[in-house]
Chains A and B, each alone.
Chain A
Amino acid sequence: MLLEVLNSVFSFQILLFIVLGVFTGICIGALPGLTATMGVALVLPLTFGMEAIPGILLLIGVYVGAIYGGSISAILLRTPGTPAAAATVLDGFEFSKRGESGRALGISTVSSFIGGVVSVLALWLISPQLAKLALRFSAPEFFLLAVFGLSIIASISGNSLAKGVLCGALGITLSFIGIDSITGYPRFTFNNINLLSGMSFIPVMIGLFAMSQAFTTVEKIFTPDQVTQKISKVWPTRSDWKVILKHAPISGVIGTIIGIVPGAGAEIGAFVSYGQAKRMSKHPERFGTGIPEGIAAPEAGNNGVTGGALIPMLTMGVPGDAVAAILIGALTVQGLQPGPLLFTEHTTLVYSIFLGMFVANIAMLLLGLSSLKLFVKVLSVPKAILTPMIFVLCVVGSYAINTNFFDVGVMLFFGILGYFMQKADVSVSPAVLGLILGPMAESNFRRALLMSEGSYTIFIASPIAWVFLFLTLLTLLGPLVGDALKKKKSTM
């Protein structure tokens, strides 16, 4: 068995496919508007004519690469290449402002690798046990998970909590637009067909982050560039390694667990990891100013999701996220049914996927580290030329997601809005978080009550629900209790 697996992965052809997949994934991930899901879907038809193992490993390579690749544009251009990198923007872009983009990319690459490896190990060693966890999640648990995620708004609000809540609530309100998923009632659509399916998340994100930043750059477009990027060292320093080794493995575990939960993807894994790192930190106030923890945690978190998402897929035939859903399609086309039988009937394939995914993470590390200097070169383009090019990337990126010009208008609207929000010192990230988690919270709250026929006890009926309730209260009340304790100490 072992030999078969080693043979099937360590052949020139398979290794080549993995590396090609990872490379394609990094490029797709780095381009704004092209998500990991789209990347995998674009490559999928190529695998129809292939054998099962190379085909699926090519797709997994794209997946792993794309989740990592999103951080490159997030750090360099404040443009999250994929939603998974939205949390990386917070600290990552601050590094580039200081001219330390090389350092930031190095931390991101190594952390992504660690997160990925942690999740592959979990997939390899304990996936059957973990898989059962996925089935324990029903509507009330999803609702409480979303609320827990939203409580992170408290830690990414910048200077004013009130402004953070305003902005987060704005994001949730945007998510109401479109057909209500529980009753089918069209809300805030104003009879516009483009609003029926709701506000597209990617154009809003590109507008709020990238376009608003480009406008801010225009303010100083005629003053010469002052920051020169230090690209000499991308390999993290000793002190950075300390931070990475402290945070990346934990975030990898968090990401893996988020990945297992069906319907919660890499973007949520990244934000939850960021919030966790901030809670653990001795200096939470420095998050958002460009510290290594702010990159290590979300990047390890989102790549941790990659392995986690495959756990329910391989063990039960249930997708952990949108990419896993496509991978199920890819396996069925090959005549393979993901599910419990896959482990017993196609053992070689399953273990080849584990090993191949491990190799994909190594390929990501090597490709990442060797090409970082090339990526940083983007920033050596003078901003007077780079800024208009970013305009084009924002426009094409938001068009590409649905091939709809309406989305381009949405992007520009939120770009302008984001610019003025920055002026008023309102952090935009809570809006993105609200847009991601709002629908999950609302639909599952109402679905839970539909299932329980109106009884609210369903929200405290399971141990998982209690865990999330406890974590949420801890996040919201923890700082208050901490302050009170400090005061008590100082008066004593």
Chain B
Amino acid sequence: MKKANFIVSGVFAAFAIFIIAISMGYPPSNHGVPGPGMFPILIASLILISALVLAIQTLRMPKSKDTAIDLKSKNVLNVYITMAGLIVYIVLMPMIGFIVATSIMLVLYIKWFSKRPWWKCILISVVFTIAIFLLFGSVLNVPMRFGLLI
């Protein structure tokens, strides 16, 4: 937990400095009316202060409260693989088309997660995909036709 808190506080502080650096270049206030940069600088300063407070609180945190955070176990690796797979899915979907890309994505994940026989995975995936396609595309008029295939 301690390590995580320091990372959170460090990342946010860096983010705040980045925001302030950009906002400094924005047009200045005009006749007492704050310009576009004022609020970003104000809020980023608030982030800096909170990050500092968090860091100090963490330093003074008793060891007993320090719980470990799991970032490397096999279970968490599965999450990383899932994230990577979804990134590939949303990059390819606009090119391939909704029904094909989504069915394939679903089949692979359901097979991996549930270990059911292939035919069941394929059936569930295709039926669900088509249902979503029709619900959003036809009933709710969201344009769902794109990509090379369907």
Q: Which of A151-174 contact B (CB under 8 A)?
A: 160, 162-163, 165-166, 169-170, 172-173
Whether a CB of chain A sits under 8 angstroms from the CB of B47 is: yes
| Secondary structure type dominating chain A contacts | helix
Given contacts A409-B90, A412-B90, contact A392 B19 (CB under 8 A): no
Q: Which of B4, B23, B27, B109 lies in contact with A183, CB distance below 8 A?
A: B27
Whether a CB of chain A sits under 8 angstroms from the CB of B97 is: no
Nearest chain A CB to B36's CB is how many angstroms away?
4
The docked-state distance in angstroms from the alpha carbon of A32 to that of B56 is 40
In the complex, the answer to whether A399 meets B142 with C-beta atoms within 8 Å is yes
User: Which residues of A sit under 8 angstroms from B140, Cβ to Cβ?
Assistant: 28, 34, 42, 400
Nearest chain A CB to B57's CB is how many angstroms away?
6
Whether a CB of chain B sits under 8 angstroms from the CB of A240 is: no
In the complex, the answer to whether A423 meets B33 with C-beta atoms within 8 Å is no
In the complex, the answer to whether A385 meets B51 with C-beta atoms within 8 Å is no
In the complex, the answer to whether A162 meets B53 with C-beta atoms within 8 Å is yes
| Secondary structure type dominating chain B contacts | helix
Q: Which of A42, A170, A221, A419 has the most CB of B within 10 A?
A: A221
Range class of the A interface residue count: 35 or more
In the complex, the answer to whether A183 meets B35 with C-beta atoms within 8 Å is yes
User: Which residues of B sit under 8 angstroms from A34, Cβ to Cβ?
Assistant: 140
Given contacts A180-B36, A423-B69, A424-B7, contact A392 B106 (CB under 8 A): yes
Whether a CB of chain B sits under 8 angstroms from the CB of A382 is: yes
Q: Which of A176, A220, A388, A405 lies in contact with B110, CB distance below 8 A?
A: A388
User: Which residues of A sit under 8 angstroms from B1, Cβ to Cβ?
Assistant: 425
Q: Which of A166, A396, A408, A438 has the most CB of B within 10 A?
A: A166
Whether a CB of chain A sits under 8 angstroms from the CB of B24 is: no
Chain A interfacial positions (CB closer than 8 Å to B): 28, 31, 34, 42, 160, 162-163, 165-166, 169-170, 172-173, 176, 180, 182-183, 185, 187-188, 215-216, 218-222, 382-385, 387-389, 391-393, 395-396, 399-400, 403, 405, 408-409, 412, 416, 419, 423-426, 438, 442, 445-446, 449-450, 453-455
